[in-house]
Amino acid sequence: MTFEEYLRALQGKTVAVIGIGVSNRPLIQLLCQRGVAVTACDRKSREALGAIGDQLEAMGARLRLGPDYLKDLTEDVIFRTPGMRPDLPELTAAVARGSLLTSEMEVFFEVCPCPKIAVTGSDGKTTTTTIIAELLKRAGRTVHLGGNIGHPLLAETGEMDPGDVAVLELSSFQLMTMTHSPHIAVVTNLAPNHLDVHRDFAEYIAAKENIFTHQTGEDIAVFNADNDLTAEEAARAIGRARLFSRRRELADGVFLRGEAVIARRGDQEREVLRTSDIRLPGVHNIENYLAAIAAVDGLVPDGVIRDFAREFGGVEHRIELIRTRRGVRWYNDSIASSPSRTIAGLNSFDRKVILIAGGKDKGISYESLGPVVNEHVKLLILCGATAGVIRRSAEQAPNYAGLEIVDVADYHQAVALADSRAGEGDVVILSPASTSFDRFANFMERGRVFKEIVNALPE
């Protein structure tokens, strides 16, 4: 089905779009422009919605707001927002009454006219997705970057050509009900995550696996050979499975041999680049490059990959250097919403750091974080709902030797304390190991607030 055919099929039908966030507003606008009867639903009050509500009503959308925004849904088609479980009682009741439940990303996969490359995993998704997209751009392709990385694509589908490429970051929430898979799928790794939303780890894994379970025999799936769960998934790939590894050589995939990144296919192998070419710090970023190279192998010349790796300084909020002040380097790693991500960040530095951590708990274990914090942190500053559990993980770890841990009320206090204690050559990093939803709309807002406070420090 083409995008135009899909829009024509909605004529005369009623549509509910749940969630008036950034990802759904272009969809609401497009549907209203095409004369579709749209109801925009959100938990926020009319007052909290503010000018956005005025704009939506001016477009022709009907608003259903407040605590009962999901009550008695009767629309023909319901678009759920990412992060909303599809089995909420209100949604299952609507489906039982005849409504079709879908999402922006599910429809995009149905109507996108060009090849799709998608990345999922517990860590490294955004950086790997960005590397893939930028490499393809430098190779001369027109790239549409979106998904969980923050840019909705469905409303732009009519502008896409068959020769373009859509590069997507997909979360477990987006994948839960997906019945289509991309032409090239990448699974960076799997570890317990988002257990505050998923029933258990098994459901989380099952959602992630939708990225490759609907592929055809002509498609490619890329898996992390160093992660037990993803290595086992490779045996269930529908199409061609390719692996990447930092620890061992592979028959078909991309791996590290000393300082050389090697791509091998059958009895043919070549050196793509050296780890010294990779500007991004940390072994986890070497893994991100291994995954990206496995995905674009044959699509992007090796010279393009080398040139890009030497220039690319990273993605905002991912071990992002904010400033160097009086010999102290300040980093924003707000993307680190899980212990495994914070562990990767701490392992990126060759010295002990001052760590600012804490946020909202999402039901996962912090036990693995404690030993790494004791090994890599000289001062631990905590705020947010997970401050206590992070403190316990450090104090109960076998290698705890009296690490100083201080609780503060907010980032203003955290930055002031870190600034007073840091000396020349020190590193201060925000790497929360928790989600942002206790105080912020998302990790981007959290990172921006932190950067503003750091940048406001006098010279």
| Segment-wise mean pLDDT, segments of 10 residues, the chain, 459 residues | 93 95 87 95 91 92 96 95 88 96 95 97 90 97 89 90 97 90 96 66 91 96 96 94 97 96 94 94 91 97 97 83 92 91 88 95 88 97 95 96 97 97 96 88 92 95
Q: Give Cα 288 to chain centroid, integer Å.
A: 13
Coil/strand/helix, residue 431: coil
Residue 16 phi, psi (nearest 5): -110, 130
Decide: 374 and 351 in contact? Cβ < 8 Å.
no
| Nearest-angstrom CA–CA distance, 390 and 278 | 32
In 164-218, where do the E strands start and end?
165-169, 184-187
Decide: 104 and 174 in contact? Cβ < 8 Å.
no
Residue 405 phi, psi (nearest 5): -125, 125
Coil/strand/helix, residue 352: coil
pLDDT of res. 320? 87
Please, what sign has the CA dihedral across residues 278, 303, 144, 86?
A: negative
Q: Bridge-partner residues for 245, per DSSP?
A: 255
Look up tokens 């997909």; give the residue. Answer: 170
3-class secondary structure per residue, 133-166:
HHHHHHCCCCEEEEECCCCCCHHHHHHCCCCCEE
Residue 391 phi, psi (nearest 5): -60, -45
Identify the DSSP state of 318. S
pLDDT of res. 194? 57
pLDDT of res. 196? 62
In the chain, the amino acid numbered 334 is S
pLDDT of res. 150? 62
Look up tokens 């955004």; give the residue. Answer: 126
